[in-house]
Structure 1
C-alpha cells in the first residue's frame, strides 16, 4: 500500500501495520466523538437507531439530523472509491496519498473547529447544542474515507472503523481453525491463510479497543485537542506514502 501498487498482498508487514494504526485511530475518533457530543461517529447502524427513536418521539429536526449525518460517511466512501477503488479497477495507481491528505485536513479542521468553538462546548449533548452536528459530519466524512480506502486495499477483507464485520469474520475463522483436521484434506490453502487472518482480526480489534481506552483517558483532560492523536497517525502514514511513492522508482533504478 505504501508503494501505491496494484498488486496488494493482504498480510504484508506494511499493510498490517497500516491496518493496526488505522484501527487505533478509529478507536480514538469514536471515543472523541462520543465524549464530545455523545454519538459514535462510524456506527451507521447507531444513527439509524437514533433516527427511529427521535422520529417516534416526534423530534423531527433531530431525526432529520440523524438521517443526514451518516450520508457524509457515504460521501467519504465515495471519495475513496474515486481515488482508490476505481483506479485499481482501471489498472492505474491508486491515489492513497490524496485520500490520506483529505483525512488529515478533516481531522485538523475538527481540532481547529473545537478550539474556535464551532461545535459548542466539549461534552454537550446534541439536544443542548446543535453545533455538534458539524462535528459529527466532519468525523463521519473522515471515517468514510478511511473505511472505504482500507476496504478497497484489502479487497473487502478488512474494515477498521467498526468491528461488527471483523468480529463476524473472526468467529467464522475460529470455527475453521478448531475444525482444521476435518478441513485440512481439501482446504489446506484456506487454513494456512486463516491463521494470518485470525491474527490480523484479533490485532485490529485490540488496537481499536486500545484507541478507545487512550481516548477515554485523554479527551476528558485535553478536550478537542485529543483529535491531534489521529491527526498525527494520519500524518505519519501520509508522509510515508509520499516518500515511498516518490523514492521507490529511484531506489529501483539505483539497484538496477
Structure 2
C-alpha cells in the first residue's frame, strides 16, 4: 500500500493530528477543537438548557440544587461530571494504547471517536424526546468535551485547553499585565509579556464564541444536524494518520 503524501493537503492532514508535534500544529488543532467545543456547548444549552463544557458551573448548579431540593437536576449534574471525567479517562487509555504501539494515530483515534459521536447525534438526536435528551444527550456531550479537552492537554503538554475559557481569559490578563509593566530597575530580570500567548488565547476564545454562535443559530434553523459539519472536520483531521497506520500494518511494520 502506498504511504500517504507528506506534502500538500494530504501531508498537512497527516501532520495536524499526527504524533510529531510543533507549536504551529498544536495551535491549528486547538483552533479546530475550540470551534467545535463552542458549537457543542451552545447546542447543549439551546436544546436542553445545559452548558456541557462548564464543569465549574455544573458543580455550582449541583450545590444550589441540593439546597433547593432539585434532585433530578442534581442527578443530571453528577452524571455530567462523571461523563466528563470518563471522557478524559478514555482519551488517556486510547492515547497510551496507541503510543505504546507506535501508532501515528495515537491522537487521531480520539478525534475519530469524538467525530463519530457528534455525527451519530447530529443525525439521530431529533428522534429523542426532551427527557431522553437530558438523560442521554447531556452526558454524551460532556463525555465528548472531556475527550477533546484531554487530547489537546496531552498534545500541548497542558499548555492549551479548548473548553476552559476562564483559564484562557485569566492567562490573557496575566500577559497583558506583564506587557504594561514598567521595568524601572535594570539590575533585575525584566518583566516581559508573551504576545504570542495573548494571540493564541484570544484566537481560541474568539473561535469558541464563533462556534457558540454557529451552534445556537444552526440549531434553531436545522436542529441537531448543525453538529454534522464539525463531526466531518474531526473525521477529516483523523483520516490521514489512520490511513498511515493501515498502510504500515499492510506492509508488516505494525
Q: TM-score interval w.r.t. the shorter chain? A: 0.7 to 0.9
In the TM superposition, residue 92 of structure 1 has moved relative to its aligned partner by 5.3
CA distance in 1, matches of 2:113, 2:121: 12
Aligned residues of 1:110 and 1:139 also touching (Cα < 8 A): no
Per the alignment, residue 63 of structure 2 pairs with 52
Unaligned runs of 5+ in 2: 1-14, 249-254
Match of 2:89 among 66, 74, 78: 78
State the SS of the aligned residue for 2:115.
Answer: helix
Distance 1:114 1:176, change over 3 A: same
Per the alignment, residue 19 of structure 2 pairs with 5
In the TM superposition, residue 222 of structure 1 has moved relative to its aligned partner by 0.6
In the TM superposition, residue 211 of structure 1 has moved relative to its aligned partner by 0.7
- Normalising by structure 1, report the TM-score: 0.80
Aligned residues of 1:75 and 1:141 also touching (Cα < 8 A): yes
Per the alignment, residue 151 of structure 1 pairs with 153
Unaligned runs of 5+ in 1: 122-128, 249-256
In the TM superposition, residue 218 of structure 1 has moved relative to its aligned partner by 1.1
State the SS of the aligned residue for 1:39.
Answer: coil
Aligned residues of 1:4 and 1:96 also touching (Cα < 8 A): yes
Aligned residues of 2:122 and 2:224 also touching (Cα < 8 A): yes
Aligned residues of 1:28 and 1:211 also touching (Cα < 8 A): yes
Aligned residues of 1:24 and 1:208 also touching (Cα < 8 A): yes
Per the alignment, residue 233 of structure 1 pairs with 233
CA RMSD of aligned residues (A): 2.9
Match of 2:41 among 30, 33, 38: 30
Distance 1:174 1:246, change over 3 A: farther
Per the alignment, residue 242 of structure 1 pairs with 242
Aligned residues of 1:4 and 1:245 also touching (Cα < 8 A): no
CA distance in 2, matches of 1:184, 1:48: 46
Distance 1:32 1:84, change over 3 A: same
In the TM superposition, residue 3 of structure 1 has moved relative to its aligned partner by 6.1
Asked if 1:179 is matched to 2:148, the reply is no
Per the alignment, residue 122 of structure 2 pairs with 111
